Amino acid sequence: MPRQRRTNQRPTGDLLIELAAHLRERRIALREEWVERIVQAELLKVMDKAEIVNEVTGIYDNTVNVLESGSIDSLQAYATNLSGRVIPRGVETSDVLGIVLLLRDILARALFTRYQNDAPLLRRVLDAYEPAANRVCNVVAATYVGERVRTIREQQEAIRELSTPVLQIRERMLLLPIVGVIDSQRARQLTEQLLRGIRNNRARVAVMDVTGVPSLDSKVANHLVQTVEACRLMGADVIVTGLSAEIAQTLVTIGVDLTKLNAVGDLQGGLEEAEQMLGFKVIQTPETTA
């Protein structure tokens, strides 16, 4: 008859199931300890205690599930939803890292208390627990950081779109007022927005006003010339207004074919020329006297 396997030699999977069961039994007490330590460490200060309890409950339960099943799918989904809720409220990355490290410590202490009278088994328990706990920390932290980066990029994209609005002035006539420094990324974006505006509005003329642009490097200047060409391919002529002396010199220095640019001194002149190209006429009416 084969000898019965000693308790401290049980498979790691069985140990993790046992650990998960023990942590579920102590769920309320350990969660309360976790919340108190979060408050003492001044983490998640943008939330009140009730909100903290609600959020950490989900993290706790998903952590125990990871220990038991080894699957991180539900934890990743929860971490993504959690990030979507707390990022707009200003929760810092350090706060998220702090609370998951606190949980890792609290659960480890709970297991130490449970198995401290059996040193060999305690070593096996901790050997099984630590990789799973580290995985939980990595998943929560990486998911939060990824969502935060995505949110920042979306905000930057929205800001760039607001900084380069494409305005419909008349039927089939657009205005793109550009203000501030233009780098390569912003140049690509304004090209995309202008081409999209031409297509959506079936525009025939676009006025690009660069009065508020202090300077252009050669790469961006070439990009703007290419933008003019792209607009022409879509059936719209581009009138460039507000060229400064510095920008004009840049265009000449880099050898831009100026015959491809329809440049007008100021915005008013550009709008008037655009109206003429569309067949509009400005008729002045005599002022009435009282």
Q: What is the pLDDT of residues 42-83, one digit of tens each?
A: 999 888 988 899 888 999 999 998 888 888 888 888 888 888
Average pLDDT, the chain: 84
Query: CA torsion, points 104, 110, 114, 116, in degrees to nearest 10?
Result: 70
Residue 286 has pLDDT above 80, yes or no: no
133-175 pLDDT, tens digit each: 888 889 998 999 998 888 888 777 766 665 668 888 888 999 9
pTM higher than 0.75: no
- pLDDT score, position 7: 42
Sign of CA dihedral 88, 28, 18, 118: positive
Partnered with residue 227 across adjacent β-strands are none
pLDDT band at 226; cut points 50, 70, 90: confident
Structural domains of the chain, with CATH:
7-156 (1.10.490.20), 167-278 (3.30.750.24)
Residue 217 to residue 251: CA distance in whole angstroms: 9
- Six-digit token pair at 108? 């480890």
DSSP string, 146-213: HHHHHHHHHHHHHHHHHHS--EEEETTEEEEEEES---HHHHHHHHHHHHHHHHHHT-SEEEEEEEE-
- pLDDT score, position 282: 59
Segment 14-19 shows an average pLDDT of 86
Residue 54 to residue 76: CA distance in whole angstroms: 17
Residue 277 to residue 271: CA distance in whole angstroms: 10
- pLDDT score, position 161: 60
How much is the CA Rg of the chain, to the nearest whole Å? 32
Q: Which amino acid is at 289?
A: T
- pLDDT score, position 23: 92
- pLDDT score, position 1: 39
- pLDDT score, position 160: 64
Residue 101 has pLDDT above 50, yes or no: yes
Segment 189-197 shows an average pLDDT of 89
Percent of the chain with pLDDT over 70: 90
Are the C-beta atoms of 173 and 203 separated by less than 8 Å? yes
pLDDT band at 206; cut points 50, 70, 90: very high
Partnered with residue 207 across adjacent β-strands are 175, 239
